[in-house]
Structure 1
Amino acid sequence: MKLFLYFLILFHVIRFSEASEKNETKELFGKDVTAIPETLKDKTTEVFFVDSQIAAIPKGAFSKNPQLKSIEFSGTVTSSIEEGAFEGLEHLNVLEISDTQVASLPVGVFRDLTNLHKLIMKSNNIEKLEHGLFHDTKNLEALRLQDNKISTIEEGTFDPLENLLELNLARNRLNSITSSLFSKLTKLKIFRLYENQLTSMPDGLFHNLPGLKEIAIHANQITHIQPNLFPHKNILTTLYLDNNHLTELPPEIFEGLSALKRLKLNHNRLNVLPPVLFKGLQKMTELYLNNNNLTSLPAEIFQSMRQLKKLDLSFNQFSTLSADYFVGLKTLSELNLGNNLIVSLKSEDFTNLQSLSTLRLDNNKLRMISQEVFDSLPKLKRIFLHNNTWYCDCNLLPMYDWMKKNQDKIMSSFEEVCEYPQHLNGQSVTSLSEDQLICSTTTVPTTTTSLIITTTSVATTIMAKTSLAYNYTIYHFFTYNSFCYNNHHFYPYHCIRNHSDYYIINHLLFYNPTYDNHNNLYHTRKFNYSTHHYGNKYTADNSNYRTIDYIYSFNNYNHRNYKP
């Protein structure tokens, strides 16, 4: 980067040196220079020291070059700047001292810089700003002090800077500030205080700064914000509150910020949003709510945001969605719902998003997506679907067909692969053929077993005896605490119990059952069970088990045995 900067500056030096009609020149000094030259060329107005070996900037260093308009030190070994170092430079407009070892700025160091408009002192080791430091820089418009080690700013330090438009104190070590510290900066438009160690914002901090257009206080440790912190009606366009420790927001905190376009609330600890939180934010174009703890949203919470283009809700705890969440978002083009817990989508969930072109659904718990969901998004161009729990059976066919026809729209980082059934686990969805997505046919061996189902007040009892290939049926049972089965591979029997590893069994799924009316039997060859904790678990299938001799179940340890 420094090499690039060196050649960039060199290019400008040569270019402007040749442009004699401009009557001004730039001079560049590189790493071989160990001291500041006493005199420069008569017409030199800009001077650059890049990677120079200049250890100190002495008093009156440029006093014989009063014509200078711009001075820059970048990447030099400079560790000290003496008081009066720039005296006599009444025409200086720009001063930059960056990427050096400077640790302190003595009062009087900027003496005589009455026409200085831009002061950049980033990426140094400055620890403290003293009262009186900016006494002579009353016309300063931009002050950039980011990436230092500033932990202390004395009261009144910024008071002379009544014309300041931009203040950058980001990436320092401030852990507290007072509301009076910036009270005289009435013309300030850009305020950046991000990546410090602040835990709160004092009352009235911005009340004397009515012209602010950008406030960036992200990446601190702020736990709460006062309702009236932002009194910038019709002015503020950008607000960054992300990467803090906020757990809630006052309902009226954004009231009246009708010019706000970009709002970042991501990477906080928000659980609930007030229904009126975004009321009146008609000009909002980007909203970031990702990386919070949201499980739901109030109905019509975004209704005022008629110009919203991008909405990020990723990395939250949503398990379901509602069409009411997205009322009013007629212009939304990008929606990120990735990395949530969404299990299913209803056909109407996205009906209010007729302009949506990019949709992220990756890293959820989706099993399938219906054709109606895709049909509700007429302008969809990009969709991310990877890392979901796709159930590759006949219910996936509509989604499978859509994916085959719209592969140019699928922008996933990884292939969409099957989670279930077990024999398709890990296989790419689009690599399958339609006849693999089945719910009805299965190959059964000649060994037969039978299954009888009876229900008592104590337990539901199952008995096995033969199997044929027919459509599967799901039987739901209430309060199945455990069941056991016996076959030629397990002796005397194998039990699934409701201990620490399993919960109440929801249902048994019988594959290809038939009903024997004469003997009042259900015949099956394969079954599985489902629990609240682990989902589907196979207990018998064609490849691993043979004849099931008997199955019994019990509740509260009162059990009954049945044999074929």
Structure 2
Amino acid sequence: MMMLLWRIIALLLITSGRTNACPSLCTCPSWSTVVCNGGTVASVMASLPSTTTSITIQNTNANTLSQTDFDTVNIPNLWYFKLTNSLAQTIKDNTFGKFSQMRNLNLTSNQLRNIEKDAFNGLGILQELDLRNNEIQNIGEIFLPLRSLKRLYLQANRIITIPSGSFLSQSNLMSLILDQNEIQSYDSLTFQGLTSLSYLSLRKCELNAISNDLLGALHAIKTLDLGNNAIFTLPRAEDWRRNAPSLSVLILDHNQITELKSQQFLGMTLRKLDLSFNRLSRISVDNFGQCNIDDLDLSDNSIIQVASRAFASMGPRLRTMSMARNSILSLPEDAFYGLYLLQSLNLSSCSITKLHPGQFHNLNQLHFLDLSGNKLNNVPNGILQSFQFIHRLYLEGNQWKCDCNIISFNRPLAGIILDIAEKWGLQNAEDFSLQFSDQNRQQYITERNRKDIQNGNVLTLTSSPAKTAQNLYTKLKEGKADERLDALKMLSNLAGDSTFAIEFITKDGLKIIKQFVIDGKHHGEPLSYILKSFVALMEHSVVSWDTIEPEFTKKVCDCVLSQKTGVSCQLPSLEILESVILHSTQLSKHSAIESNISPEKIHPHLQNPDLQKNSLALLNALFMKAAPEKKKKIGDSIHARGFRNTIMTAAVEEWAFMWNHADNITATSVLSGSRSVGTEMGHQLYCLQTLMLNMHETKMNSPVNPHDTSVQKQIESLRNTAFDLDTEANQPGSRKSNLYRKLGFQDQSNPAQDFVNNTPPGALALDNIHYFALKHQENYVKVVLENSSRADEHDCPFIQASIMLTKTLCEILNIGQPPQDDGNTFYPMFFSHDKPFEEFFCICIQLLNKTWREMRASTEDFHKVLGVVKEQINRALDIQPTSFEAFRLRLNQLTYADIMKLWDQERKNKEEWESQAQPIVELRDMIRPDIMKLIKQQRLNYLMEGARFAKYNPKGRTKDRSWYWRLSPNHKAFHFSECGENDKPSLDQLNNKLQVSEIKSLLVGKDCPHVREKNKAKSNYNSGLAFAIQPNTDNAECYCFIAKDEKEFDMWTDGINVLLSNEMTSNQMNQDLEMLLSMEIKIRLLDTEGITIPKEPPPIPPEPDNYDFAYQVL
């Protein structure tokens, strides 16, 4: 009993806790992300919620950053900090020492000049530092504390010298960008310590040579960008090989290189070489040497001569080459000898005047050829017959001799292709077809889709789908390894076209693809093309997923599970398994996958950013199609702590990417990359959330068994916990019934019956209440006792409220509904707990109790309170809270008063929007004349009531004199006479008369004669309330008035204007017109409540051909 007393006393002392509001000058998309504009760094940081993980501050006037700016900050999990567009010039020592968990520090676009040596102390796990667009001149040893740094951006500063040892501690640095500085000196020790550096960019740094001091420290470099400098000579090949043995991409565009030495790149591991925008004039036969380059760019030089077999020594690996915008008048017939694998060749705008018949005969793999913008006037016969796989051929902008025979496209495609073939001398026109030239739209033109051709589309003539399918099939079956690889690559590009896919499948192409997988002889790149092609071919639904052999499925499972397979093979493998589960009707195929693939085996792939989406899709497919007992096991696996943490990381970072996309935050885990809001990853997280919550569907639709001892024990524990009862002994029945009544049971004699009669939510409601009492006992007792202490009429029945709330939460979360194809709304907090729905309920039941108290509700208001609570929950979910604490904080902000304000504002916004709809505008115009008549009549009625004015004449105020004016009932004359201060004379007592017909005009404001006199005398009355009636008789004085307030002024001037047939111009008239129009519109639209009014009226249908139906007998 004493314990109960103490709980009641504690309850009475409870006050609502203070919540962390979003700081002024800031916006808070959630309680973990804050974006601020203006203010000081210290003031912003001091008011941040402790849940903040990401903060952006811009346009602040702080010129120094120091430790004191963060003294009062308590943000233990801050991982992203951005300060931009500020006046900051200095960063003091230990400024960021409190943020040991920070991963990303962005200080772009400030005025930083001085960064003290220990400024970054304490940031031991920082991975990205962005200092671009500042005024930094000296970097010294400022980076020494940043031992985990992976990416460093220093472009667009004023760095002149990089001292020795500047990067000694950056052994983990992978990317360093120093573009747009004026680096004049560095030595052999400048880049010492960068043992992991794979990307270095020194664009536009005024470099004139590539010294061995630079190369000597770049043993791990893979990409080196030295474009936009003044380099005119290159190191010898042996220097490159010795100092940068792993270099694969070398970018040297926009330099001053005039020639290449003999064997300039011999033996290098280069895959891409960019020499565009230099001053090369000749390409000799031995310039490159054996170097196996894949991509060579020689565009925008001054090349006038290309030697015979100029590229033969490079090796056969070259796939892409551009020589565009040079001055090559002619090419030797064997200029491209040896480039057997070349797929793309750009010779545009080179002033080429002539091509040889055998110019491209050895380029059997060429897919893209650009000869546009040259000076060709004809194409030699037979030059195109070597192009077996050409996809895009550009010939525009030459000096062709046209025969003016324009092909008409208003005929069948077969006839069009025949005309083109005859024009270009091509045999067997049936072996050709038209195709879109866009690389992202490699689709064959057919009679079905030719309507999709638009003006400006470029089409290419290529091999027909049937011929291409046959050629690929032959190469796959009989070709050599290199031919088979090229065929597989081309197949993966074309398999998405339905016309080609049908032809290839008809020739048993799918069968050979499956056999490749079953045989297990292909690995790496070839296997990835095989699996991608299979996925694309199956998407056309030509072949049923039921035809997939168990051996094929087993091999695909092995691809998923093998660590040696690689991402490029695992991605399509995961997609194949997902499709088998979702689309196959044979349960045996599901079992074959389930026996090999379990959630525990999928878990490692969920930690890989490249595989995560497909892995989650496969997990969802297994979850969705599993039998009930297997669903339970999958659910248990997902709720395991390690698995749940992985999913939680995915959900939080997908959410963070959505809010921080504009800031270009580089996320390094699950959902980093070029994803946009509403991506496929978001859809998969939504599906998983839905499937997890649907695990409650069975209990939601099941009533409890009143005779079940476990149910009885749960209900008894609710009573005992709430009222501090340790034993059942000596508890009379009336006492129990009274306690059950206080708990809010409707059936006090058999409380379990409440969970039988209210199904759904049935047993789910009891589980939620029991969880609340067990896991949040203090809050449970507080809610129950608070309700027990209220008067009966204001009592909130806890059990009934919990039952109805559970049902409402099921409706909000769509429990029992399968995932929708277009759904992508997920809530990261549901992945943060092993009992997410129960925790959700615990927060919401406390919200219901709080809202009940704020509304001072009674039992009759139950459904109204529930409606407000539902609105509060929905609005709190709008921010997709990342944690239950963030959800709780958001709910605390949404009080009942706030909801009422929001509803009122939304109603006003809706009315304003609807008022702009064309039907409403037309309705307003239609009823406006009637409203104007009403206002005019009201103004005349006001004048008939009359008013007392201080008496004025054109010279000014007549001292201590007043007069009273009225309009006659027939509106033909004003009656007036002098009166006392408190008099209100009748019409008969007003002896003087002014006929309306004798009024010439109405004067207002400064046009009134008594106002002009007032200005001379500097009187103190308001000229804005002055008006005067000017008679139409000669030399007659004006009748002058000063209204007592603006309303009287508006009413009298409007009334007089009505009498004179003038327009009413007062503000009061506009207000009255808008008010009356709005009220009339609302009254007329009462029957359209809930119907969306279109912006434009629906079109009037055309008249029928005849009106004979009028005579039909119905």
Same fold (TM > 0.5): yes
Shift of residue 41, structure 1, vs aligned partner? 2.5
Amino acid at match of 2:423: D
Pairing 1:172-211 to 2, within 5 Å after superposition: 172-211=181-220
Query: What residue number does 1:506 align with?
Result: none
Match of 1:465 in 2: none
- Distance of aligned partners of 1:302 and 1:88 in 2 relative to their CA distance in 1, 3 Å threshold: farther
From 59, 66, 72, the equivalent of 1:58 is 66
Residue 37 of structure 1, aligned match among 45, 48, 66: 45
Which residue of 384, 387, 390 corresponds with 1:374? Answer: 384
1:402 aligns with 2:400: no
* Equivalent-residue separation in structure 1 for 2:329 and 2:254 (angstroms): 24
Range with greater deviation from structure 2 (217-226 or 379-388): 379-388
Residue 48 of structure 1 contacts residue 71 of structure 1 at CA under 8 Å; is this kept in 2?
yes
More strand by share: 1
Counterpart Cα distance in 2 of 1:302 and 1:78:
57
Q: Which residue number in structure 1 is paired with residue 93 of structure 2?
A: 83
Task: Kindly indicate whether the alpha-carbon contact (under 8 Å) linking 1:318 and 1:341 is maintained by their aligned counterparts in 2.
Answer: yes
Structure 1 counterpart of 2:290:
280
Distance 1:298 1:371, change over 3 A: closer
- Indicate which of 292, 296, 304 corresponds to 2:301: 292
Deviations 1:173-209 (A, max 9, x none): 2234333311322221111111111111222422232
Q: Tell me the TM-score normalized by structure 2.
A: 0.33
Given residue 377 of structure 1, which amino acid in structure 2 is its aligned partner?
Answer: F
Structure 1 letter corresponding to 2:388 = P
Q: 1:235 to 1:203 in 2, by over 3 A?
A: closer
Alignment match, 1:437: none
Measured at CA, do residues 340 and 300 of structure 1 come closer, stay the same or move farther in structure 2, by a change above 3 Å? closer
Whole-angstrom CA distance in 2 between matches of 1:385 and 1:403 = 17
Change (3 A) 1:79 1:410: same
Gaps of 5+ in 1: 1-9, 18-24, 413-564
**Cα 1:273/1:105, change in 2 over 3 Å:** farther
Q: Distance in 1 between matches of 2:245 and 2:424?
A: 45
Q: In 1, Cα distance between the equivalents of 2:108 and 2:387? A: 50
1:332 pairs with 326, 334, 342, which one? Answer: 342
2:247 pairs with one of 215, 236, 254: 236
CA distance in structure 2 between the partners assigned to 1:403 and 1:83 by the alignment: 77
- Cα distance in 2, alignment partners of residues 287 and 198 from structure 1: 23
Residues 435-461 of structure 1, C-alpha deviation per residue, up to 9 Å, x if partnerless? xxxxxxxxxxxxxxxxxxxxxxxxxxx
Change (3 A) 1:367 1:411: farther
Residue of structure 2 in register with 1:95 after alignment? 105
SS class of match (1:71): strand
From 9, 26, 35, the counterpart of 1:28:
35
CA distance in 1, matches of 2:351, 2:333: 17
Is this contact kept in 1: 2:188–2:217, CA < 8 A? no
Q: Which amino acid aligns with 2:126?
A: L
Query: What letter corresponds to residue 250 of structure 1 in structure 2?
Result: K
CA contact (8 A) 1:354 1:379 kept: yes
Partners of 1:240 and 1:212 in 2: how far apart?
13
**Partners in 2 of 1:52 and 1:408 — Cα distance?**
59
- Give the TM-score taking structure 1 as reference length: 0.62
User: Superposition pairs for residues 539-558 of structure 1, below 5 Å?
Assistant: none
Cα gap change, 1:162 to 1:233, in 2 (>3 Å): closer
SS in 1 for 2:424: helix
Residue 401 of structure 1 aligns to a residue in which SS?
Answer: helix
Deviations 1:230-250 (A, max 9, x none): 236662221101110011223
Q: Which residue does 2:259 correspond to in 1?
A: 248
Task: Give the direction of change, closer, same or farther, for the CA distance of 1:56–1:302 in structure 2 (3 Å limit).
Answer: farther
Answer yes or no: is the 8 Å Cα contact 2:258–2:281 preserved in 1: yes
Aligned residues: 389
Partners of 1:314 and 1:390 in 2: CA distance: 19
Contact 2:308/2:333, CA 8 A, preserved across alignment: no
Could you tell me which residue of structure 2 aligns to residue 226 of structure 1?
Answer: 235
Matches within 5 A, 1:8-157: 14=29, 17=31, 25-31=32-38, 35=42, 36-38=44-46, 40-63=48-71, 64-65=73-74, 67=76, 68-129=78-139, 131-157=140-166
Whether the aligned pair in 1 keeps the contact of 2:216 and 2:244 (CA below 8 Å) is: no
Partner SS, residue 375 of structure 1: helix
Structure with higher RCO (Cα < 8 A, 6+ apart): 1
CA distance in 2 between counterparts of 1:60 and 1:87 reads: 11
Cα deviation for residue 51 of structure 1 reads 4.2
What are the Cα deviations for residues 299-323 of structure 1, in whole angstroms up to 9, with x where unaligned? 1524544343321011222222234
Which residue is equivalent to 1:217? 226
RMSD: 3.2
Aligned in 2, Cα 1:256/1:204: closer, same or farther, shift over 3 Å?
A: farther
Query: After superposition, what is the alpha-carbon deviation per residue over 1:356-397, rounded to whole angstroms, capped at 9, x for unaligned?
Result: 222111222212112311222233232222332334579xx9
Q: Which residue of 2 aligns with 1:345?
A: 355
Secondary structure of the residue aligned to 1:163 is: coil
Q: Distance in 2 between matches of 1:333 and 1:352?
A: 12
- Where 1:350 maps in the other structure, the secondary structure is coil
Higher-Rg structure is: 2
* C-alpha deviation, 1:62, in angstroms: 2.8
Do the aligned partners of 2:174 and 2:199 also contact (CA within 8 Å) in 1?
A: yes
- Paired amino acid for 1:372: G
The 8 Å contact of residues 303 and 326 in structure 1, kept in 2 or not, is answered as: no
How many Å separate the matches in 2 of 1:233 and 1:172? 23
Out of 305-314 and 335-344, give the one that drifted further.
305-314
**Native 8 Å contact 2:107 2:130 kept in 1:** yes
Q: Is the 8 A contact 1:383 1:410 kept in 2?
A: no
| Aligned-pair identity (%) | 25
One-letter code of the match for 1:235? S
How many Å apart are 1:402 and its aligned residue? 3.1
| C-alpha contact 1:233 1:256 (8 A) present in aligned 2 | no
Contact 1:119 1:142 in 2 (8 A): yes
Distance 1:173 1:32, change over 3 A: same
Shift in Å, 1:39: 5.5
Measured against aligned partners, the alpha-carbon deviations of 1:88-129 in whole angstroms (never above 9, x if no partner) come to: 333322211012222332322222322222111112222332
Secondary structure of the structure 2 residue equivalent to 1:205: helix
In structure 2, stretches of 5+ residues that fail to align are 1-25, 405-418, 439-1114
* Structure 2: distance between partners of 1:392 and 1:351: 26
Describe the SS at the equivalent of 1:37. Answer: helix
Mean Cα displacement is larger for which, 238-247 or 402-411? Answer: 402-411
Q: CA deviation at 1:157?
A: 2.0
With over 3 angstroms needed to count, the CA separation of the structure-2 counterparts of 1:204 and 1:229, relative to structure 1, is: farther
* Contact 2:149 2:173 (8 Å CA) reproduced: yes
Residues 381, 425 of structure 2: 8 Å contact kept: no
For residue 299 of structure 1, give the secondary structure of its aligned residue in structure 2. Answer: coil
Deviation at 1:54, TM superposition (A): 4.3
The Cα of 1:400 is off from its aligned counterpart by 9.5
Cα distance change of structure 1 residues 42 and 133 upon mapping to structure 2, 3 Å threshold: same
Farther-moved stretch of structure 1 (96-105 vs 78-87): 78-87
Distance 2:307 2:137 in 1: 44
**How far apart are 1:217 and its partner, in Å?**
0.6
Residue deviations 1:242-273 (CA, integer Å, cap 9, x gap): 11001122334423323x22210111111234
CA drift at 1:85: 1.9
Q: Distance in 1 between matches of 2:421 and 2:228?
A: 41
Task: Tell me the distance in 1 between the aligned counterparts of 2:244 and 2:402.
Answer: 53
